Every structure is written in C-alpha cells, then in structure tokens.
Structure 1
C-alpha cells in the first residue's frame, strides 16, 4: 500500500469508517427495537388464549420494547431533541457546548498543564532513550525508513528556507556576524602563538619551502623586468659593449642557483636567517605593541574593504546554491550523511547515561517552562476552539467518537428490559 494511502483515514462509502460503523450500529439497535414491537403485537392475542409460553414471549417483548424506547430517548437526548420536540433537558450536548468547552479546558489545565503535574509526569520518562531507540531502530520489511523521511523533510526544508530568504540580505547578515566576531578577536597574538607552535613542531618547514618556490616562480615571471632594470643601471660603455646582457644573465643565474641551494639544503645559512625572521615575527606578534597595532589596523582595513564584501557575497552565493542543489539532489550523499549522523546520535542517546540525564533534564525544564508560560494560552485556545464549533459539528464529532458504544446501550437496554419483563411475568404468575 502506498504511503499516502496508508496515512489516510479508513473510509467506507466515502465517509470515515468510524461514522459508518456508528450508523450501522444505530440501525441495528433501531431494528431490534422494531422487532420487539412487532413481536409484542403479534404475540399479544396468543399470550391471552394460547400456551403459557406465549405469555413469557409477550412479556419479554413488551419489557424489551419499553427498555429500548427508554434508552433510545436517553441516548438521543444527549445529542438532539427526540422527534424534534423541544422537550426540556434534551439536546444536552448542543445546549451546553460552551460549558463543555470550559470544563474540557479546566480539566486540561488541572491535569496536564500545571508545572507540578508536567514535572511529575516527565520525571519518570526517559525522553532521550526513547528518541535514541526511535533513531536507531531499523525499519522492518514493508516499512518506511523513518530516518529517511526525517532527513528528506529536513533537506527539503533547508532548501525552501535558503530559497525563500533574500540572498543579499542573508549574505550581508552572515558577513556582518562573521565580521563582528572577527573584530572582537585579537588576531596578532593568536597568529603569533600559532607560528611559534608550528616552529616548535617543525611544521613551518613546508612554509619556508613554499616561500622559496614562490620566490623562484616570481623571479621567472619577471626576468624581462629585471633585465631591463640592469640595462638601465649599468654604465653606457657596458651597454655599448653588450655586457649588460651578460651581467643580467649572471645575476639571474646566481639567484636561481641560490634559491635551488636553499631549497635542497636544510642547513643552508639563508634558511637560518628565514627562521630567525619568523621567530622574531612570532615574538613581535605576541609582545610588540607596534606590531600588534599594525596587524589590527590591517584587519580593520580588510574587514571594511568593499572588495572583500563583494568577494564574500560571491562566495556566499556559491555556497547557498551548492547547498540548495545538494539538498534537492537525492544522489548528492547529503541524505546519507544526515542518516548516518542521526544513527550515531541515536546510539549515543541509548548508551550514554550522562547524556540521557542532561537531555531529560533539558526536556523536563523545557516542558515545565512551556506549561508555565503558555499553559493558559493553550487552555484558552482549546476552550475558544470548541466554543467556535457550531452545535452540529460538536454533536457529530462526539457522536462519531462514542456513538457506537451508545448504541450498545440501547441494545443492552432492550435485552435487559426483556429479561426483567419475563422475570416479572414469572413472579406474577406465581401469585
């Protein structure tokens, strides 16, 4: 059966099955009452002139008819006027609709929504363990994986939220939030400690190698500029003799050779100079006020630079579109990652007692807080909702909920009345 069909209420003849079953039971009770009436009138003459057994049958039918009529009147009077006659104290539920609403609200307030009751009921509940069991439980054959439904709904909700919000405004809010947090952070000592720690662990060596390679690539990209500078600086005689080209080539070759030696020799003196410079930089970033002030000024300039804001908006838009695409794409792996996360969360909730205590305490405090703050509003909502129902609506809903059992009262009244009538007939025959 499809999921949508399984979640729909069962129907019979286009109406909810509970309403139809109540109607059939009402016809059954009415049919039994009519049968007792027919039996009474058809056996009345035989009871006076025929065999004595007919007297018991007639007495049974007479008392059953009276009992059935009495219970029909009582049951009908709950919901409407019997035979549409304005008999006093009938149509009890429609006439007392507002009082029923207030009574329901008061019952809800006193038994469910007081902080003491909520706390007492939740003290015996292990909410965290129940949630853990729910998340860990694997679906049986034919059942829908609840985690898949949760993750699918969450992914679609995330996509809808990202699409519905103004991307420029949201991006600016995220940028402002990040900028505000970065503005509060003293970057200079943090960077100094990071550099110092990297040097202690020898994790700065790849940085030095990267600097050397970068210098080599920069030198290679600007060879013509360097040659032109040397050409302009040397004496005219050297230019006339063509020695400027030889000098510039020797200079470039020497620089390339120096960078190569520094790159391959871990003990090269130039590396030591670079490390000394990095060590001094790490110290100044932490302890030199002038250096810290310059870094803070650079940070402020960077955060206030319009180019940075424009760059961030482009980055944010790419992130937003990527998140929407991944949320909507069933093959993206996002759902599988979320299902795995939920399963891990469920396992932790099942096994970690300290986490259960924390979650249960939070759930209890939240429920008590909701009852304290919004209990009156919830009760008022229930009362006003019921009061807004018209008489036909509230009668139909209550009758569809308990009407079948009320028809059993009619049937039992008919049968019990018949047995009482037959018993009375037996007792009077002994006199």
Structure 2
C-alpha cells in the first residue's frame, strides 16, 4: 500500500475516523450490555450467558485497543514500557526496512532470478504496436510536457553552441577519406555509379548547349585573320561543337564507350586511393577541416540545431499528432520488429537484465543507505501520523474482531462452566 505524502497536522482520513468510531462504539455497547446483564442476572439466570459474553468482549476489545494504540503512542498518555513502538523505533524500522530491501531485492543473484522471466522487449513491442489508450495517453502527455519544459528552460544559444561544438568535433574526428573510398568502391561494384556518370554526361551536354555562343566567340577570337576573313572560323566552331555533342551522345548511349570506361577506371582508382593512399587521405582531411571552419558551415550547423529543436518542441507540444505521423509509424515498425525478431528481443531482455543486475551490484548499498537515512531524517510525529492514517483503518478491524472473538470465547467458557 503506497503511503500518501501528507502533512503531519492533517486530520485522519474519513475511513479511519469511521472505523475508529465503530470499534469504540462496539466497546461501549459491550459495557452497557454488561451492566444490563449484571443487574438482570440474579432474577433471570439466562442473562448470565449475556454477562459472560459482554464481560469477555470488553476484555478483548480493551486489550486490542491497548495493542493498537501502543503501536503509535502511549495509551492514555502514560509512559508504559514497550508502547509508542513506531516513534521510539523509527530509526531501527528504517534500518530494518533498508536491510530487507538489500537482502530480498538488491542482491544481484536475486535480481537476476526475478528479472529472468520478465519479457521487457515483448512488453515494449506490445505497447508500441497497440498502446493502451488511457495509459499510453497519460505517459505521452506527461513525457511530452517534461521534454517541452526542459527544451524551453535551457538556454538555446548555450545549448546550441554545445551541440554545434559536439557535432563539429565529431566531424573533425571522423576520417572520411576511407569512408568515401568504401562507399565509392561499393557503388562501383554494384553498378550504382552509372547514374552518376549519366548525370555528369547529361550535365556536360546541357552546359555545352547553354554556352554555344561563348564557344563560337572563343573560336572566333583565337582564329587567325585569314580564317576570320574567309569565314572558316565559323566552320571550325560548328565542327567542334558537333564533335563534342556526338562524343557526349555516344558516351550516354554506349556503356562500353572508351572514354566512359576510362572514367570508370578513374573512379575505381580514386576509391582505392581514398582507402589506402596517405597523401590523398591527408588532402581530403585538409579539405574537410577547411569546410568545417568555414563560417557558412558554422551557420548551417546553427540552423540545423534550431530546426531540430523546433521539431522536438513541435512533437512535445502535440504528441498525439506526432504519433499519428511518421514518428508514430517508425515506433510501430520498431514494435513490430521486436515482436517478430525473437533474437533481437532476447538480446534486449539480456541487456536490460544485466543493466538492472549491475545497478543492484553497484548501487545496492547506496540505496540501502538512502532508505535508512531518509527514514532517520523524518520527524517521528510525521511518520507516525502517516503510518497510522494509512494502516489505522485496518487496525481498527482488529479491535472489532477482538471484541467479538473475546465475547465468543467468554461465552464458551461460561457454557462449559455451567455444564460442569
């Protein structure tokens, strides 16, 4: 039963008051019944049974009242030994509770045994694919509100600077030349470089058509006076442009064109040099460093963080809409993958189990100290009132049962005494 955090001066809950009144009223009723039976017993012997029941009920009720009251305070304010058990032994109770947690819950072997049957991955998969409407909604709203408040509370400039510095450092530490070489080599091996060559050829053809006048002007300027006087410069320009157009058309149409084959060989050589040539790698790294240091790149990183922050805030402020969009689809796909891929689910469950066991091994003693020191720091009256308000209603049933059971025992003893 969870203990609700309340003020020490707060009144007892209605349920506790009601059961306390019932138990006390039953005890008073037994006292009145005893007086009536005592007065009537000389004239009517049958009232002796009623008297025995009421007398024993009073004894049982008073004994249980004393036992219940002694847990939390001195009965009638008298300093009777072994009373006010909770406030007097508050620190020992805290230590005992802490050791109970340590012995029964925080031992690595116990944690591992309790975690073994848990299917964390399966629970996550079910929640992602078909989340409970109410529980999932509460969780999303609470988590989203927390994320939104955290993002809005942090200094955007400082946080953005930290993110930019982290991304920049990550880029600077990454050796991109071998990565580029591997990507280019894989693309060539799988034939995925062909669209790149087709694009380059198409771009060259478009550039040639767009600069027709410029090429003709260059030929005219470079030609001699005789060629210009005879008009042969125009013929040379036409032949040059037509030849280049045919060359580009042949390269686009025939994959085995010699120039295209040489271009592919050049790409393969470049991929190999990117992977193995230190000089080439150093040149690529220098270009990368210059790119990172470029103010335009720094502005792009700033904008990237602002876009990411804005997107996170948008999702956090409207989680239901986000869950209906691409993010929700991604999460559902993750849940479906966890549901179908038992090897992945087993790996996740093993990781969670080891993580929890590791936490128990590394922080078990710290958790025990935390519990013990927390209870020790509580005010005795506060913890007494909290415990009484939480379990007092059930303890009042003990008084009621004690009164009734005591009366029945007294009645049985009286019956046996009369019979003998």
TM over 0.5: yes
Residue 203 of structure 1 aligns to a residue whose secondary structure is: coil
Corresponding residue to 1:179 among 150, 166, 172: 172
Instruction: Provide Cα deviations, 1:42-86, integer angstroms capped at 9, x if missing partner.
Output: 2322112x1111122122222222221222122111112222333
Map residues 254-293 of structure 1 onto 2, 5 A cutoff.
254-266=243-255, 268-282=257-271, 284-285=273-274, 291-293=280-282
Matched, 1:337 2:329: yes
Confirm whether residue 167 of structure 1 aligns to residue 160 of structure 2.
Answer: yes
Q: Which aligned pairs between 1:20-419 and structure 2 lie closer than 5 A?
A: 20-48=14-42, 50-123=43-116, 125-128=117-120, 131=123, 134-135=126-127, 138=130, 144=133, 146=135, 163=152, 164=154, 166-181=159-174, 183=175, 185-187=176-178, 190-192=179-181, 194-236=183-225, 248=237, 251-266=240-255, 268-282=257-271, 284-285=273-274, 291-326=280-315, 328-329=317-318, 330-332=320-322, 333-348=325-340, 352=342, 354-419=343-408
Deviations 1:243-283 (A, max 9, x none): 75665565445534543444345555543444454455455
Distance 1:238 1:155, change over 3 A: farther
Q: Any idea what the Cα deviations from partners look like across 1:284-310, whole Å, max 9, x if unmatched?
A: 555666545544443444344444333
Verify the 8 A CA contact 1:172 1:313 in the aligned structure 2: no
Any idea what SS the aligned residue of 2:106 has?
coil
Write the distance in 2 (CA, Å) between the matches of 1:259 and 1:217.
Answer: 10
Of 77-86 and 130-139, deviating more is: 130-139
The offset of 1:144, in angstroms, is 1.9
- For residues 162 and 405 of structure 1, the distance between their equivalents in structure 2, rounded to whole angstroms, comes to 46
CA RMSD of the aligned region, Å?
3.6
**Cα distance, 1:383 vs structure 2:** 1.4
| Segment drifting more, 250-259 vs 203-212 | 250-259
Using the alignment, how far apart are the partners of 1:284 and 1:114 within structure 2?
Answer: 56
Gaps of 5+ in 1: 1-8, 10-14
Contact kept in structure 1, 2:122 and 2:345, CA below 8 Å = no
Equivalent-residue separation in structure 2 for 1:177 and 1:327 (angstroms): 27
Q: Give the conservation status (yes or no) of the 8 Å contact 2:122–2:338.
A: no
Q: Distance in 2 between matches of 1:386 and 1:34?
A: 38
Distance 1:224 1:89, change over 3 A: same
Cα deviation, residue 171, structure 1: 2.2
Alpha-carbon displacement from aligned partner over 1:154-188 (angstroms, at most 9, x marks no partner): 6666655555361232122122213312x3x443x
Q: Deviations over 1:382-411 (max 9, x none)?
A: 112222222332222322333233222212
CA contact (8 A) 1:151 1:338 kept: no
Partners of 1:411 and 1:286 in 2: CA distance? 86
Encode CA deviations 1:299-323: one digit per residue, 9 max, x unaligned. 4443444443333333443344345
Partner of 2:7: none
Aligned residue-pair number: 405
Distance 2:298 2:283 in 1: 21
Runs of 5+ unmatched residues, structure 2? 5-9
Tell me if structure 2 keeps the 8 A contact 1:155–1:335.
no
Q: CA deviation at 1:88?
A: 3.2
TM-score by length of 2: 0.80
